[in-house]
A and B are shown apart, each in its own frame.
Chain A
């Protein structure tokens, strides 16, 4: 049981490039989330999904896109990377809504230069 896995662990992008951060969970959780963590700022929600085919914006969605074609996978797409997107990105999943704890992946450290 791997839990939540994320790839890659580290990535350096040039300004204007695009990339997809992968996230997979094997717990059959309906809810999945993408957060970014900036130094000293806690975690900010980017997008979340309540089930396959359903996604919604969080607090800081600009510059990102998501899709949820299966229960297991929830990729995050960065289009036209900007230095402001330098951050650590965490994917998480939970059985249901905010009642339940979230399980986090190991994170992806992204630098945009």
Chain B
């Protein structure tokens, strides 16, 4: 069964510091997809990134970067030079699209990130 673990329940950092959110996943499939979503205080979940299991290249988008390592089953998310607007709950999620009849996302429990001005 697929599982996503976000061991950090809450993190607080001072503005402009860098912060890394950890995500560890479990799956028996060789084809899978990993996602990160942001849930700001307004409540709506916003898609940030998707990564498939065959692409281990790290990705950078502005201040955001993602480190995917199959060897450790991790897909960590780093925010560089954090800003107050980054304060949110961040969810990591996993899907196994080849598992027909079970095409769903499995979410981690989320990490609440607070950026202190």
CB pair A98–B45 under 8 Å, yes or no, is no
Say yes or no: is A79 at the interface (Cβ < 8 Å to chain B): no
In the assembled complex, B43 has its CB within 8 A of some CB on chain A: yes
Q: How many angstroms between the C-alpha atoms of A42 and B89 in the bound complex?
A: 10
Q: Contact flags (1/0) for A44-66 with B, using CB distance below 8 Å?
A: 01001010000010100000000
For window 32-91 of chain A, which residues contact chain B by CB distance below 8 Å? 33, 40-43, 45, 48, 50, 56, 58, 88, 90
Q: Which residues of A contact B46 (CB under 8 A)?
A: 104
Q: With A and B bound together, what is the CA distance between A106 and B42 in angstroms?
A: 8
- Whether the pair A106, B9 counts as a contact (CB closer than 8 A) is no
Which residues of chain A are near B110, meaning CB under 8 Å?
40, 42
- Contact B105–A45 (Cβ < 8 Å): yes
CB A98 to nearest CB in B, in angstroms, measures 3
**Interface bits B34-57 vs A (CB < 8 Å: 1, else 0):** 010100001111110010100000
Given contacts A33-B104, A58-B104, contact A98 B44 (CB under 8 A): no
Contacts of B33 in A (CB 8 A): 98-99
The listed residue (B44, B47, B95, B97) touching A105 by CB distance below 8 A is B44
Query: Is A48 within 8 A of B45, CB to CB?
Result: no
State whether the Cβ of B117 lies closer than 8 Å to any Cβ in chain A: no
The answer to whether B103 touches A43, judged by C-beta atoms less than 8 angstroms apart, is no
Q: Which residues in B have their C-beta under 8 angstroms from that of A43?
A: 45, 91, 105, 107
Beyond A97-B95, A101-B47, A107-B44, list 14 extra A-B contacts (CB 8 Å): A33-B104, A42-B108, A42-B109, A45-B105, A56-B101, A88-B43, A90-B45, A98-B33, A98-B96, A98-B97, A99-B97, A104-B37, A104-B45, A107-B43
List the interface of chain B (C-beta within 8 A of A).
Answer: 9, 33, 35, 37, 42-47, 50, 52, 91, 95-97, 101, 103-105, 107-110
A residues whose Cβ falls under 8 Å from a Cβ of B = 31, 33, 40-43, 45, 48, 50, 56, 58, 88, 90, 92, 97-107
